[in-house]
Amino acid sequence: MMILFSLLAPLIFSLLSMLEICIFLLFLFFPVFMKFLSLQPSIQMPFHQTLEDSLSLSLQILTIILMIFCLLASTHNLSNTFLFYSLMSLLLLILLAAFSMNSILMFYVMFEVSLLPMSMMIMGWGYQPERLPASLAMMLYTMMASLPFLFIIIVADKFWLSGLIIFNFWFPIQSFYWHFISFLIMIGFLVKFPMFLVHLWLPKAHVEAPVVGSMILAAILLKLGGYGIWRLSFLWAHSKITEVLQIISLVGGSLVSFLCLRQLDLKVLIAYSSVAHMSIAIMCILQISKSSSYASLLVMLTHGISSSAMFAGANEIYKLNHSRNMLLSTGILSESPKIALFWFFCCLANMAAPPSMNLIAEIWSISMMWGFSIINSLNFMVISFLAAAYSLWLYSAPFQGQKSNLILLFSPLPMKANFLFLIHIVFFIELILIF
């Protein structure tokens, strides 16, 4: 059924009204998403079984909801509509398959194949001539980092002669080499997440990608790294390398947050803020406990919604003056109060202020870190404080002040953009009501 849907979806999306399709899919999956978040894990079920079920289901539903957002955001000046929707349908099928695979080898295949539609989106519908090197850098950076993981999968598969090994395998190695092997496996996921020091491909990919590519990349594709680390957490549950990676991720998140304060490019600032927020998710995942794992899942889900909203809002700001420089995009509040209100909610979610669900996610995360390490908790406080600082800068710079001369003619927002803003705000508010 998924294959049939992926074949028919481009034709359906091209012929029917985007707004009608999105409203139907939203009302179809929104109650399921709300019902899932309201469920508490069963104590009688084994830890890994409960964790894997909730992780896979939540990320699959998030993928479908994000594709609904992308349908609303992708109806502006597309050169080849059928090909674009074909890539979106293919990417949807690949991501749903990746989040439901039980085979490590098949998960690796889907993990890498998901880069192809995204690279084609960047190359075909990117904004600047540098989109070709940006897409190639994204592919080569992530694929080269995951090649040791593929080699270890092949060696393990030959050792057991079991065909496609599943996620509950175990290497018969308990020595110094075990720490090195676990690091080689983890580095491919950390690059995809991405962690500080291996994040340089992300800002370039976001700058060159269209708005739909940025939404999918920040909200879904980055979560593949967290999904892989989570599903293979038993491999490094007793490895000392996790403590080093936790410190690097949080210190790197603090440094990236300082870097956000001096950014003028709107999309680059949002991309670096994603790296800072994902450092919190990395810290929680690597603690290898039930409560911290659910905290990391909540961080990833809330970041998926908020990052999608911020890139959608950044696209509307870009349409006003055709510039991403925040110093050249001043005075938008007097021209478009709707965009200003939506951007205000985006900045609230980015700084984890009520009524966004990001507040609950960060409170849960810092409670996990405080019991683990006080130093890491202080780094987390720095990240939270700087997130509020650059979020205020992110809101005030484009909307306050005198109207920019680049804004010559303002046209009212179309109905699809209004509906896209509305459903993002609904998710911001409704998610916190569940808890």
Is residue 315's pLDDT more than 50? yes
Residue 186 lies in a domain: yes
Question: Which residues, listed in sequence order, are joined to residue 265 by a DSSP beta bridge?
Answer: 325
More confident residue, 19 or 220: 220
Is residue 47's pLDDT more than 50? no
Question: Within 13 Å of residue 176, how many CA atoms lie on the same side as its CB?
Answer: 0
Residue 381 pLDDT class (50, 70, 90 cuts): confident
Residue 42 lies in a domain: no
Coil, helix or strand at residue 137: helix
Give the pLDDT score at 164. Answer: 46
Coil, helix or strand at residue 325: strand
Residue 353 lies in a domain: yes
For the ranges 123-132, 159-168, 306-315, 346-355, the maximum mean pLDDT occurs at: 306-315
Range of the domain at 291: 2-36+47-434
Percentage of the chain surpassing pLDDT 90? 6
350: tokens are 């980015």
243-248 long-range contacts (CB < 8 A, ≥24 apart) are: 245/186, 245/190, 245/195, 245/282, 245/286, 246/282, 246/283, 246/286, 246/287, 246/373, 246/376, 247/375, 247/376, 248/195, 248/196, 248/197
More confident residue, 11 or 307: 307
More confident residue, 245 or 15: 245
Give the pLDDT score at 44. Answer: 35
Q: CA-CA distance, 52 to 56, in Å (whole number)?
A: 6
Residue 79 lies in a domain: yes
Structurally, the chain folds into a number of domains equal to 1
Residue 241 pLDDT class (50, 70, 90 cuts): confident
Give the pLDDT score at 166. Answer: 54
Give the pLDDT score at 65. Answer: 83
More confident residue, 242 or 76: 242
Give the pLDDT score at 371. Answer: 67
**Dihedral angle of Cα 66, 68, 73, 77, to the nearest 10 degrees:** 130
Residue 433 pLDDT class (50, 70, 90 cuts): low
Give the pLDDT score at 386. Answer: 92
Residue 409 lies in a domain: yes
The average confidence (pLDDT) of the chain is 77
Residue 41 lies in a domain: no
Cβ burial 194-220 (10 Å sphere, 16+ → b, else e) = bbbebbebbbbbbbbbbbbbbbbbbbb
Q: CA-CA distance, 378 to 389, in Å (whole number)?
A: 17
Residue 404 lies in a domain: yes
Residue 389 pLDDT class (50, 70, 90 cuts): very high
Residue 336 lies in a domain: yes
Using alpha carbons, list the distances in angstroms from residue 361 to 205, 222, 291, 384: 27, 18, 12, 12
